[in-house]
Copies of this chain bind each other. A is one copy, B any other.
Amino acid sequence: MAPSAGKASKAPASPKATAEAAPKAAKSAHPVSPLAPKALAKLPPISGVRLGAGSAGIRYEGRTDVLVAVLAPGTAVAGVFTTSKTSSAPVDWCRSALAQKSARMLIVNSGNANAFTGRVGTEAVRATADSAAELAGCKPQEVFIASTGVIGEPLPVKRLTAVLPEIYENTGATAWEQAARAIMTTDTFPKMATATAQIDGEQVRINGIAKGSGMIAPDMATMLSFIFTDAAIPPDVLQALLVQATETSFNAITVDSDTSTSDTLLLFATGKGAKHNPVVRANDKRIDDFRIKLTALMQDLAVQVVRDGEGATKLVRINVSGAESTAAARKIALSIANSPLVKTAIAGHDANWGRIVMAVGKSGEAANRDKLSIKFGGHRVATMGMRDPNYSEALMARYMARPEIEIDVDVGISKFNSGVWTCDLTHGYIDINGSYRS
């Protein structure tokens, strides 16, 4: 074992034991994003879910950095994870645990990603699962684990396991905001959403929390999101619903084109509030309303992630139509959304459709230059291969001053469309990411 691993395993459980391993003082928080929702959603209890948050002092002092969710026996689980080839130890663990199709606990820490930490990282995950399983009286494989924070630093796992019993003892049905806050890293506001849906005329609830900010790009888009419902839906159906809803929500957002090694989306169904008859198939019409509400809730959370994009001052929706296929439309939309030149132009209130043309061109997908049409906020600025005759710089300047921008691009090839959300690229992004570790 390499010395650095040994060093980690010798790390003291107490956050104050050595100067070298001591956590840094909490950074002065970045100001809340100007795009934050006006009010936080109020999440009701979900039968079968208890939540608690606490401080392990893994990275910062003076803030919560651990979330514990306790799930009723029989809870079904579905998951979607980063496509990164260098996924973190917790992601590997969850992928494997998902085969059990049953969840009893969720443990999240927001101080350390436990990614690229080798064998000691795998051991830290196992130690976390063992500690949690002992508390809940379940199998370690029923404990789902997520980590976010710095990559490559050994996780001082004893600090984490040391605080689990106290947090576990204090879990309750109402700590949704505390839960959402405990998973934040550079997020400037907690991300929550709630919805009700009907199955067989019976009401079921869905609550979700998320964190994001940097390294936000498909696939997966958000770093971490956890969704809970009291509906009774078997794991296979739950997985199909989750994958489908992800396409137009978390996989339709991008902040900086970077993809985390830790992206994790988990959906838990306790079945404890369910008075409906059993659901068997993913295409069952009886869950159409659930499917719609789940997708809307996930879009809500995904857009909240973009609203908190590092340094973001504008929320941008890009709709691409007239493409050769849905995949082509999506690729063009992402090419526009990820273009630094497009993003800086929007930050500068510049309806620079020339850069949109550039981004369409570099996507590599078919586009008819002489039929290309571009609108900002419904105002056509380019048409038939040139600037629109009615283009008004003054009108555009007024529109571009808004906090929410909508761009429609028709590439004039066929009938397929797709859309993504993104944000602008500002000095704030450079500030936050040029000094993240310092």
- Please give the residue numbers on chain A whose beta carbons come within 8 Å of chain B beta carbons, in ascending order: 2-5, 82-87, 113, 115-121, 150-154, 214-215, 217, 256-261, 338-341, 344-345, 347-348, 350, 352-355, 357-367, 369-370, 372, 382-389, 391, 425-427, 429-430, 433-438
* B340 close to A116 (CB less than 8 A): no
What would be 29 A-B contacts, judged by CB atoms less than 8 Å apart?
A: A2-B383, A4-B391, A84-B358, A85-B360, A85-B369, A86-B358, A115-B354, A115-B357, A116-B369, A117-B386, A118-B384, A118-B386, A121-B386, A151-B358, A152-B387, A153-B387, A257-B338, A258-B339, A258-B340, A258-B362, A344-B433, A345-B434, A345-B436, A348-B433, A348-B435, A350-B436, A350-B437, A352-B436, A426-B434
* B359 close to A150 (CB less than 8 A): no
Known contacts being A2-B384, A4-B391, A215-B341, is A430 close to B347, with CB within 8 Å? yes
Number of copies: 2
Known: A153-B354, A261-B357. 17 other contacts (CB 8 A): A4-B389, A85-B361, A85-B365, A85-B367, A86-B361, A116-B369, A116-B386, A118-B384, A152-B382, A152-B386, A153-B387, A215-B358, A217-B362, A257-B339, A261-B358, A348-B436, A350-B437
Residues on the B chain within 8 Å of A365, using CB: 85
Q: In terms of DSSP, what is the predominant structure of the interface of chain A?
A: loop
Known contacts being A261-B358, A357-B115, is A429 close to B152, with CB within 8 Å? no
A260 contact from B258, B358, B383, Cβ within 8 A: B358
* B341 close to A258 (CB less than 8 A): yes
Residues on the B chain within 8 Å of A260, using CB: 358
Residues on the B chain within 8 Å of A359, using CB: 258
A354 contact from B152, B347, B429, Cβ within 8 A: B152
State A223–B426 Cα separation when bound (angstroms). Answer: 24
